[in-house]
């Protein structure tokens, strides 16, 4: 039996002007540390919300999270895109590189607490900012930020009128479901009723002893883990999956540098072959017919 093909997408970097798959932005739900803010005009406050950019911005930086901490503040019950969920201070004993790693880890932990569940299970993106202008590293603040997003690459921030606190504690509109494949991206859908090419099935965590620099080994491990997540989600065995000419598996997550810094969680999706459209959820499909249009 021929081994099943696995399509792979990786998000590797910070904002548009930094590294990323064909320039794609920031941290999807698997978020990483973002751009640096100068802190000269604004100091972040946990529990506050703001707009991503001033109205009328048309530059590439206007996509997704802004490159520096800023934006117009708004009440979290009014229209906004970004919410600050944690603010801290950099540890005095750390080097700049270790400070960034500490910030990454802190924001990942605090994001799951704030959202009420693993951030990778939601249509959310996270980032962080660190103050530049303090005269000593230990005097600098850092902030952890979250936004609802319309796509996996995080380039589309959704305007909301409520906090994301507890949004992933149970079923709800922000929980990740179905999507359509785009160029190195997924465009999220509000539900699985509309035609779609992908459905989120769960998370896979790469083992702590995995070597992030070994791309092939990492991809094999994540691919196998996500394939198991897909078969469990569908209620299929391995043979059924391998014999299907309709269903495939895709994963999305951190690149080597982020894995090395501790971000090891990948999102697993069941996808269609040749972008054929599904007309319903595949959860618990079992012996049923794959709901493919046409």
- DSSP state string for 6-43: EEEEEE--SSTTS--GGG--S--TT------B--SS--
Per-residue pLDDT of the chain (294 residues; tens, 9 = 90+): 333 433 333 333 322 222 222 222 222 333 434 444 444 446 799 999 999 875 555 555 557 898 888 888 999 999 999 999 999 998 878 888 888 889 999 999 999 999 999 999 999 999 999 887 776 776 789 999 999 999 999 989 999 999 999 999 999 999 999 999 988 899 999 999 999 999 999 999 998 887 777 888 889 999 999 999 999 999 999 999 999 999 999 999 988 888 888 899 999 999 999 989 999 999 999 999 999 986
Neighbours of 212 (CB within 10 A): 18
What's residue 13's pLDDT? 31
Neighbours of 284 (CB within 10 A): 9
* Strand-strand pairing, 247-254 and 6-11: parallel
| pTM (two decimals) | 0.84
SS3 state at 146: strand
């Amino acid at each position: 039996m021929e081994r099943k093909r696995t399509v792979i997408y990786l998000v590797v970097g910070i904002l548009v002007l930094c590294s990323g798959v064909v320039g794609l932005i920031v941290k999807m739900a698997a978020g990483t540390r973002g751009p640096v803010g100068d802190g000269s005009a604004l100091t972040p406050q946990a529990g506050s919300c703001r707009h991503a950019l001033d109205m009328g911005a048309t530059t590439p930086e206007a996509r997704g999270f802004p490159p520096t901490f800023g934006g117009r503040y708004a009440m979290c019950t009014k229209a906004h895109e970004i919410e600050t969920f944690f603010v801290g201070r950099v540890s005095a004993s750390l080097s700049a590189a270790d400070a960034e790693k500490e910030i990454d880890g802190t924001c990942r932990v605090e994001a799951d607490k704030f959202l009420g569940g693993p951030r990778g299970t939601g249509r959310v993106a996270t980032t962080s900012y660190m103050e530049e202008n303090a005269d000593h590293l230990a005097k600098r603040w850092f902030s952890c930020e979250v936004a609802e997003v319309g796509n996996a690459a995080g380039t589309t921030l959704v305007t909301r009128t409520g906090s994301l606190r507890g949004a992933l504690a149970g079923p709800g509109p922000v929980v990740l479901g179905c999507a359509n494949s785009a160029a190195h991206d997924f465009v999220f859908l509000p539900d699985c009723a509309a035609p779609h090419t992908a459905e989120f099935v769960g998370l896979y965590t790469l083992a702590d002893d995995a070597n992030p620099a070994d791309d092939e080994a990492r991809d094999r491990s994540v691919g196998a883990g996500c394939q198991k997540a897909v078969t469990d989600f569908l209620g299929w065995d391995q043979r059924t999956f391998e014999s299907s000419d309709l269903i495939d598996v895709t994963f999305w997550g951190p690149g080597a540098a982020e894995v090395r810094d501790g971000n090891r969680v990948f999102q697993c999706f069941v996808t269609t072959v040749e972008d054929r459209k599904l007309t319903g959820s595949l959860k618990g499909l079992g012996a049923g017919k794959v709901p493919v249009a046409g």
